[in-house]
Amino acid sequence: MIEGNDIKFSIIVLNWNGIHFLKDCFDSIFAQNGCEYEVILVDNNSSDNSVDFTKKNYPAVKILKLKENIGYTGANNAASKIAKGKYLIFLNNDVRLDPNYIEELHNFLQKNPQAKIVATKEYSYDGKVFVSQSDGIDFLGYPCKYQKGKIHYAPGCAFVIEKELFRKLGGFDEKMFIFHEELDICWRAYLIGEKPYLANRCKFYHYTGGVITPWSLQRRYLSERNNIRSVLVNYSVPTLLLILPIYIFVNLCEILYLLFTNQWRVIIYAYLRAWYDNLKDYRNILRRHKEIQSKRIVDDITYLKNVCLVFGKWQNFKRVRGDLKFR
């Protein structure tokens, strides 16, 4: 690790009560060679001695300890303000980097200076299973399985973005707290003429669900709420008039399935609450919509040519419907 004004990368590790992941995460970072980087731990008011552990065992890490848990979006936005690197690498604490990650990322950026958002290849935590090399987005703003040429966003667990672009976009949408924030910021980047690139030789290993389990009711609610918000603020009004009825129809089909399987709790907490919270926040959504639409240079027709030609929302529902009796 080299500190100074010439730092190329700022590696920002997001943490909330993740002391059991920090050793593997930091060890993988400090094993990187050949490039300039700094490491920042941003801690969402943990109660498990994560900060003391880091101070004692990794004194080179800069620590930003927050007074409350402000989520993925708020914490990473705060850390970005003290970062010195040209590029920001936002890591979840349950991520390990491949030993050549930074070097390969540096080489990729040298060859592709136009790349301002970079997706890298995700594997299971033990490295045995390939998970994803980034994903696409369907017309409803939902993630879908990777299709060749349809790299639409970089995974939030290892999100690489040029700091200048991150600031130009206003960072992550703090109203989202956690989940779908990476889809939203990449969507906004598309609207001003930027897009993600794939660094094929960069690998990382992700535990998945280290803080919130994959099938938890809270995760489902936050994902649905944030996806609705992203659709409402990023599409123009004419496109919304076409897309929104389809979105509502799909939600109603999902709710009917849950109704017939006697999952009232999921209907009320995940779906109805998601819509209620967005309707309650309509003033902020209108302001956000106006701001985003005033800056866009890419129209919706051009944008929609780049989305995946599959139904990502239905893909996801089929995948999790057997696990929808959330805890």
103's torsion region: left (phi>0), alpha (psi -120 to 50) or beta? alpha
Structural domains of the chain sorted by starting position, each given as residue range(s) with its CATH number in brackets:
9-206 (3.90.550.10), 217-323 (no CATH)
Query: What tokens appear for 53 in the block?
Result: 């552990």
Rounded CA-CA distance 30/230 in Å is 36
HEC profile of 146-190: CCCCCCCECCCCEEEEEHHHHHHCCCCCHHHCCCCHHHHHHHHHH
Task: Say if residues 101 and 120 touch (Cβ distance below 8 Å).
Answer: yes
Rounded CA-CA distance 260/146 in Å is 31
Q: State residue 275's pLDDT score.
A: 97
Closest of 143, 176, 182 to residue 161, by C-alpha:
182
Note the pTM of the prediction, 2 decimals.
0.92
pLDDT in tens, 182-219: 999 999 999 999 999 999 899 999 997 766 666 688 98
Coil vs helix vs strand at 245: helix
Q: State residue 7's pLDDT score.
A: 73
Rounded CA-CA distance 147/162 in Å is 25
Residues of the chain with confidence (pLDDT) below 50: 2-5, 324, 326-327
Cβ within 8 Å of residue 118, ≥6 positions away = 105, 108, 109, 154, 160, 161, 196, 197, 198, 199, 202
Q: State residue 313's pLDDT score.
A: 73
